[in-house]
Amino acid sequence: MSYSLNIRGQLFSLDTPQVMGIINATPDSFYTASRQQSEAALCDRLCQIMAEGGTLVDVGACSTRPGAPLPSEQEEIARLRKALTTLRDAIDRLECAPPVLSVDTFRPDVARMAVEEFGADIINDVSEGSEAMFRMVARLSRPYILTSTQPDLRSTLLTFAQKVQQLRDFGQKDIILDPGFGFGKTLKQNYALLNELDRLLVMELPLLVGISRKSMIYKKLNCTPEEALNGTTALNTVALMKGASILRVHDVRQACECCQLIESLK
């Protein structure tokens, strides 16, 4: 299917799969190497994502690692303001097309701050959404990533159908679906859902897949997140073959190579 997003008044095409690089402005991400907090580290990570072919960056200041302490809204805002100030300054100095800036948050007021103060392009919500968030993203007129925390395909489809209709009722236009690998699912359920990923295309909305170095890989392979790149590449390839439009990853170059090779098959 042909998909595009309205980004800063321009159409951002998803006709070919795109890669979203992760920037974790947190001290406690499950993957230690992905934690960027200093100004230099943030700028280096941004440059790395773009140099390796990423067209989107996803900035988060609240770890979704199981068991991680949840920062207050004020702490999340403070972390994000610091990171986004640095990243926006770096983006403004670029001599090439800027990346699409996504902010990873489940809090409506954090989303509002990121858009109104820093011009964030996309809101990435891993919480399965709330009426308050739906109203906010519709008011902000930004593409919204809706995540499922359901355990299987049937409940995921039913929840997506209900939530998408709610979003449409509030006037939301651009919606991206994330099946939520690692959220509310057992190891077996993660793989069952990935095996049936293409059946989510019935929603006629682009799919984002975020499986990078997650426990569904390193637990299955009896290794650590640091050793899970090869497994990540294998499953990213499966996701692309089943219709994913966006890969959310730590390792951008390897994901871009997957996209390039899968496109060659077409």
For 96-127, how does the pLDDT look when each residue is reduced to its tens digit (9 = 90+)?
789 999 999 999 999 999 999 999 999 999 88
- Look up residue 22 and give its two tokens: 């992760």
Q: Which of 45, 79, 163, 248 is catalytic?
A: 248
Distance of alpha carbon 70 from its chain centroid, rounded? 19
Q: Which of 45, 185, 213, 214 is catalytic?
A: 214
Count of helices and strands (H, E) across the chain: 9, 10
For 119-149, how does the pLDDT look when each residue is reduced to its tens digit (9 = 90+)?
999 999 988 999 999 999 999 999 999 999 9
- What is the C-alpha separation between 59 and 133, in angstroms, rounded? 18
- What is the C-alpha separation between 222 and 257, in angstroms, rounded? 25
- Residue 214 annotated in active site: yes
For 45-73, how does the pLDDT look when each residue is reduced to its tens digit (9 = 90+)?
999 999 999 999 999 988 766 666 788 99
Instruction: Give how far Cα 188 sits from Cα of 65, 164, 177, Å.
Output: 19, 27, 21
Q: Which residues contact 3 (CB under 8 A, 6 or more apart)?
A: 13, 14, 15, 205, 206, 245
- What is the C-alpha separation between 34 and 63, in angstroms, rounded? 11
